[in-house]
A and B are shown apart, each in its own frame.
Chain A
């Protein structure tokens, strides 16, 4: 079955996404990028980066910003304004529509857009390994019927059946999953490479309604780069008295450095600009090394950011709303990554903007989701059930050890090997737990059973395999098997996912709320378990060493064992840790001593248990790896 793709056909860049396994995914271009420059060499029909690299050589045949002309009349005010700066020839075509002329041949904007769409289609086909013949294409909210029609035609020329044209801001809100909520008002703040759009829409309960839209068709990221570059050039002139603005090589390096700094300053507070050998003065090489801080950058571009709030105010006015009426603000377009921008948006709307979806990809992702809905993928998809809460068993020290983490798709199964916590332990109790908390007592016990008949052995030696099997209906079967004897015991639990939605949310919230204290408690238990193991090891080695170890050393260790036992009772984590370390240090001396004496020849008889600290809970089990440490 062929797939339907979602296309964000942009003024500067375009992007494409597809639904895969019920999730939207951005398709990378053959060049390995998540966006394709909307630039076309109309003669050779080359699109994207390769076309963009020839813009200077073929200014009259490499066409960019074609979206500004799509579906517009030649006499349109905006077209008249744009032809003043567009390097290629724009003419009046049939029905007074704007067309372009290259080498004496006229092309409609639809044809040029179709070339971009064709490249997108081909890249998507290569990625999917399948034919693509249907698409959802996005357009700005302000596009009129003619512009929408022309966009649809462009798709058809490219061999795509355009099953729906949707608004870019609507697509962006789909990407955020906002259509699933009840009816509410959203502002989409879209700051792209060359244009700025602000749209207020009502969304939810099957309603998508644009209340108002506004923008600035000549305000975008490119202006930011230029501002930074101009600043760098002025800065250099101030320092060295040399004007680099006419030096192509130098300005090229400055431009790259400006863009790099801009991106870097979205995540760090300072960026170093390093341009050695930028020019020559009196046959001496000149270097340009400077630091650009985020604060400086913000002061440079503040005017540009502020420019966007004029249209934003008008938009609110048109929608007859106040900033407070907006329930949700989402950010789209690469420039919105700038912290200052989201800060200003927050100031304006009095609300933290939503920016969890990649702003370059949000529109294409939303288009893909729309495509999925139309194709039936999204609605009809068998959503694999997931287990909403973690399932695990209780182990030494009443710790809850997870086996199947939450959000695992079911059916699923998992097994792990555990061991005994005490010497000669002949039975283990398997307590099956459900929940996110690290301590057993804080989670729900779904059931418990005892596996008996484990042959007596030192702790950590028996291998008990515990396996969980959760079927598609949420029925959990837990089995415990002693690897040595093959004895096994099992239990079937039917209510493992039988929680209501509210209950699940409550449990999850509880886990988050208690995360900090739980962590402390887990640490405490861990240090206790460590101390406990060490006491065991110490007593065992003392026994093995017997009289061969000097009395002073034995006394020292015995004293320290006593100390550890004491603090274990009191239960202060840091005391336990320090006394454990103390004992561990002394214990190494025994090892060293034994080694030196080379007493390896004498086999030490395995002894009966030396220490009993079996609280009922400790008949549980520990992870294999940790046990390895204990045994050795």
Chain B
């Protein structure tokens, strides 16, 4: 008759063990579920940004073509070239790609890279655009390369 008494604590022990294990699994399940939800969210974000990035990469290849048409316009005066250029600009504009308007404005490193300095009366103004910069919507597609003004005196002072 002793046996049931002996079994009981063992039963209890098993019970608490099982409880513990259940809790553990529950935690792991919840964590996995949360991870999954997060992944779902991020996947959809990534898909969107993936599409935008693919578009960016693809369209940015056309910018060097446009650069070259711009250069050609200096020498080729036939209006046909302008028609070609306007068409390309329109195609890009339909994809929300527009040239930045930065000439004669204060240099902004968020959208432009300074490749040279030029002496001038004022400081930090974009004096010349070496390579045009383009935005796609609100974001930067290709930074411009510019020459920026600099007061001569100031240089000596900071030496």
Contacts and interface: CB of A to CB of B under 8 A. Distances in A.
Interface of A: 21, 32, 46, 49-57, 60, 103, 129, 248-249, 252-253, 276-277, 285, 382
15 contacts: A49-B143, A50-B109, A52-B113, A53-B143, A54-B109, A57-B124, A129-B38, A248-B130, A252-B131, A276-B71, A277-B72, A277-B74, A277-B75, A285-B72, A285-B74
A249 B118 CA distance: 13
Contacts of A103: 158
Contacts of B112: 53
A52 B117 CA distance: 15
B91 interface: no
B136 to A, nearest CB: 12
B68 A276 contact: yes
Given A56-B116, A248-B116, A252-B115, A277 B110 contact: no
Given A248-B130, A249-B130, A56 B115 contact: yes
A103 to B, nearest CB: 8
B124 A248 contact: no
Interface residues of B, number: 29
A54 B75 CA distance: 32
Contacts of A252: 115, 130-131, 145
A21 B39 contact: yes
B107 interface: yes
- Please name the 6 residue pairs, one residue from A and one from B, whose CB atoms are nearest each other, closest first: A277-B71, A53-B113, A53-B109, A54-B109, A56-B114, A57-B114
Interface of B: 28, 35, 38-39, 49, 53, 68, 71-72, 74-75, 107, 109-110, 112-117, 124, 130-131, 143, 145, 147-148, 150, 158
B75 A285 contact: yes
Nearest to A62: B109
Given A248-B147, A249-B130, A285-B75, A277 B68 contact: yes
Given A32-B53, A55-B114, A253-B131, 16 more contacts: A49-B143, A50-B110, A52-B113, A53-B109, A56-B114, A56-B117, A57-B114, A57-B124, A129-B38, A248-B116, A248-B130, A276-B68, A277-B71, A285-B71, A285-B75, A382-B28
Contacts of B107: 54, 57
Nearest to A60: B158
Nearest to B68: A276
Nearest to A384: B32
- Max count, chain B CB within 10 A of own CB: residue among A46, A53, A56: A53
A49 B139 CA distance: 14
Given A248-B130, A276-B68, A276-B72, A57 B148 contact: yes
Nearest to B131: A252
A514 to B, nearest CB: 37
B73 to A, nearest CB: 10
A21 B43 CA distance: 14
Nearest to B52: A32
Nearest to A382: B28
A248 B39 contact: no
Nearest to A22: B35
Contacts of B114: 53-57
Contacts of A129: 38
B85 to A, nearest CB: 14
Nearest to B128: A249
Contacts of A56: 114-117, 148
A60 B68 CA distance: 35
B71 A57 contact: no
A312 to B, nearest CB: 36
